[in-house]
């Protein structure tokens, strides 16, 4: 029974734990073993981020296959933990789209971190942490640890040095991508797998963008690029995306219906049958210029989602 529950937990999409082979490089290295001020819990205020990292995030959440770099938030280091929590948009939202960030300083109830540790998102994602390593004190001290996290967020979510975060302007993000032929939407073999387009058939690509302050129509410099590898795009090959004021409604990356505001024709014969064509979108919101989606450090599921397989 124990191992059966563990297997189910490990299979949960997105928030479940995925293969170590898909772990992304750590963009916030600690500089070496035990060179991280959050590695030791001694003398750290339990309501501070340093104390929360040492007592909760590192021993409980950064265990193998979970938030160890396999997907964000990344809890391998103190710096990585803070930078992938503060103001960062959640990978998955509730049906009402309530949450704009994993941690909203001063507001635990609008912070996805708090929600995910107290509520089963959608009734099928589980409550974090899904699993804990043998010997973890999380089950015995859960109430205390949750209160520490709530106190830290309510106090403004200061960093490991006690510095309050500045107000952030989040870069644009992709909420959805699909391809259609008239009224027919091309399928995927799985929710986050590439769109499948039969070679030789016509297609229109539709993209939904979102920003914390700007509407889709207010975004500028919106472009699309194509490549046969997800890691390398030639800026000289970018094409402008046309904003459609009326748009079309499709299921988004997170399962809700959204208005897709950008479209562009796609020629499958410009490639070869069997190719996987990877896409990259760039956009500016007036503060964040030329944001690339996905970038090199993005989770691999997003790179697959923004791709086309010619069958």
Contact 214, 273 (CB under 8 A): no
Lowest mean pLDDT, pick from 17-21, 48-52, 157-161 = 17-21
Inter-residue contact 241 to 223 (CB < 8 Å) = yes
Q: What is the total residue count of the chain?
A: 311
β-bridge partners, 174: 209
What are the distances in angstroms from CA 273 to CA 23, 197, 234, 304, 308? 30, 10, 22, 18, 11
pLDDT tens digits for 184-219? 999 999 988 999 999 999 999 999 998 878 899 999
Worst-scoring range by mean pLDDT, 42-46, 49-53, 218-222, 307-311?
42-46
Cis peptide before 129 (omega within 30 of 0): yes
Mean pLDDT calculated for residue range 237-264: 92
Query: What mean pLDDT comes out for the span 232-246?
Result: 93
Measured between alpha carbons, how far is residue 202 from residues 80, 199, 308, 310 in Å? 43, 9, 13, 12
- SS3 for the chain is CHHHHHHHHHHCCCCCCCCHHHCCCCCCCCCCCCCCCCCCCCCCCCCCHHHHHHHHHHHHHCCCCCCCCCCCCCCCCHHHHHHCCECCCCCCCCCCCCCCECECCCCHHHEHHHHHCCCCHHHCCCCCCCCCCCCCCHHHHHHHHHHHHHHHHHCCCCCCCCCCCCCCCCCCEEEEEEEEECCEECCECCCCCCEEECCCCEEEEEEEEECCCCCHHHCEEEEEEEECCCCCCCHHHCEECEEEEEEEEEECCCCCEEEEEEEEEEEHHHCCCCCEEEEEEEEECCCCCCEEECCCCCCHHHHHHCEEEEC
Question: What does the pLDDT average to over 270-275?
Answer: 96
The per-residue pLDDT for 20 is 37
Question: 89-140: per-residue pLDDT in tens?
Answer: 888 888 878 888 899 999 999 999 999 999 988 777 788 888 788 888 999 9
Question: Binning pLDDT at 50, 70 and 90, where does residue 145 land?
Answer: very high
Please say if the pLDDT value at position 69 is more than 70.
no
Domain ranges of the chain: 2-154, 173-310
- pLDDT for 19 equals 38
| pTM higher than 0.75 | no
Which of the listed CATH numbers 2.60.120, 1.10.1760, 2.20.28, 2.60.40 matches domain 173-310? 2.60.40
């Amino acid at each position: 029974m124990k191992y059966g529950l563990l297997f189910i937990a490990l299979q949960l999409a997105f928030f479940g734990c995925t293969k170590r082979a898909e772990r992304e490089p750590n963009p916030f290295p600690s500089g070496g073993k035990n060179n991280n001020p959050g590695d030791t819990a001694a003398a750290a205020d339990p309501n501070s981020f340093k104390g929360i990292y040492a007592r909760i995030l590192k021993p409980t959440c950064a265990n193998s296959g979970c938030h160890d770099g396999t997907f964000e938030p990344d809890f391998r280091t103190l710096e990585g933990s803070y930078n992938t929590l503060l103001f960062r948009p959640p990978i998955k939202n509730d049906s009402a789209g309530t949450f704009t960030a994993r941690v909203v300083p001063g507001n635990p109830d609008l912070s996805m971190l708090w929600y995910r540790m107290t509520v089963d998102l959608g009734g099928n994602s589980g409550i974090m942490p899904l699993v804990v390593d043998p010997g973890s004190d999380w089950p015995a001290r859960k109430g205390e640890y949750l209160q520490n996290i709530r106190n830290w967020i309510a106090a403004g979510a200061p960093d490991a040095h006690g510095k309050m975060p500045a107000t952030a302007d989040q870069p644009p993000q992709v909420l959805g991508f699909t391809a259609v032929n008239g009224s027919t939407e091309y399928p995927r073999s799985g929710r986050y797998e590439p769109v499948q387009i039969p070679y030789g058939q016509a297609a229109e690509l539709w993209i939904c963008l979102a920003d914390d302050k700007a509407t889709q129509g207010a975004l500028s410099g919106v472009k699309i690029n194509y490549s046969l590898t997800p890691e390398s795009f030639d800026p000289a090959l970018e094409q402008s995306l046309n904003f459609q004021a009326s748009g079309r409604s499709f299921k988004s990356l997170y399962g809700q219906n959204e208005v897709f505001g950008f479209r562009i024709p796609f020629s499958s014969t410009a490639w070869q049958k069997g190719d996987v064509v990877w896409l990259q979108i760039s956009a500016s919101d007036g503060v964040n210029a030329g944001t690339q989606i996905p970038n090199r450090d993005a989770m691999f599921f997003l790179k697959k989602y923004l791709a086309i397989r010619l069958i």
